[in-house]
Copies of this chain bind each other. A is one copy, B any other.
Amino acid sequence: MPNRPVLDFWYEFASPYSFLSALRIEPLAEAAGVSLRWRPFLLGPIFAAQGWSTSPFALYPSKGRYMWRDVERRAGRIGLPLVRPETFPQNSLIAARLALAGREAGWLPAFSKALFRAGFGEGRNIAEEAVLNAALKEAGADPGTAYAASRSEEVKGRLRAEIEYAKSLGIFGAPTFVTEDGEIFWGDDRLEEALDWSRHGR
């Protein structure tokens, strides 16, 4: 669709607020006339650069307790089931590589949504092959081909490059929305504002 503004949607498979955005962004973007670029990345290296060994929600208990309650309320308001995974944050490396392996073939968004539903809607382990396979199949991807691509140097390098690019933009959390004119919006609660900016703010 030419001339539509494009909004970059940066997300992390282990991030609860990314889960909320991934499962509500498409109809909102469609209504706003905005095209989406789904950009999975990893927060781990970005947190590490700030001196954090893990998610701030895991490092700071009161922040973590609040986050789960807040996500529960927000999920409830949009009718989304939420089941907390046993470990938090989950290891999302393979998930991110697999998603990027599907960028050209076009199943990246469908795979991402399916995996978010498994991870936070059902509390499943998104590092497990069975869970990843189910999400691939739901997205219409062939697991064999997808895994082979995800292990290639090309896709591994792609993920590293995305993370470096995110860092260079000043991204420090997820989800983050970046408009074509470089405006940055952080958090599921800024999604509407980001779409609005994409449409009018340019």
Which residues of A come within 8 Å of B, CB atoms?
A: 50, 60, 62-63, 65-66, 69-70, 73, 170-173, 184-187, 189-190, 193
Tell me whether B172 and A66 are in contact (CB under 8 A): yes
Q: Which chain B residues border A184 with CB–CB below 8 Å?
A: 66, 69
Residues of B within 8 A of A186 (CB): 66, 70
As for how many copies of this chain the complex holds, the number is 2
**Which of A62, A69, A172, A189 has the most chain B CB atoms inside 10 A of its CB?**
A62
B62–A171 CB distance below 8 A: yes
Residue of B nearest to A69 (CB): B184
Given contacts A50-B60, A60-B172, A63-B173, 15 further A-B contacts (CB under 8 A): A62-B170, A62-B171, A62-B172, A63-B172, A65-B170, A66-B170, A66-B172, A66-B184, A66-B186, A69-B184, A70-B186, A73-B193, A187-B189, A189-B189, A189-B190
> Which chain B residue has the least Cβ–Cβ distance from A197?
B73
Residues from chain B with a CB closer than 8 A to the CB of A190 are: 70, 189
Tell me, in angstroms, the Cα distance from A73 to B186 when the chains sit together. 13
Minimum Cβ distance to chain B for residue A33 (Å): 21
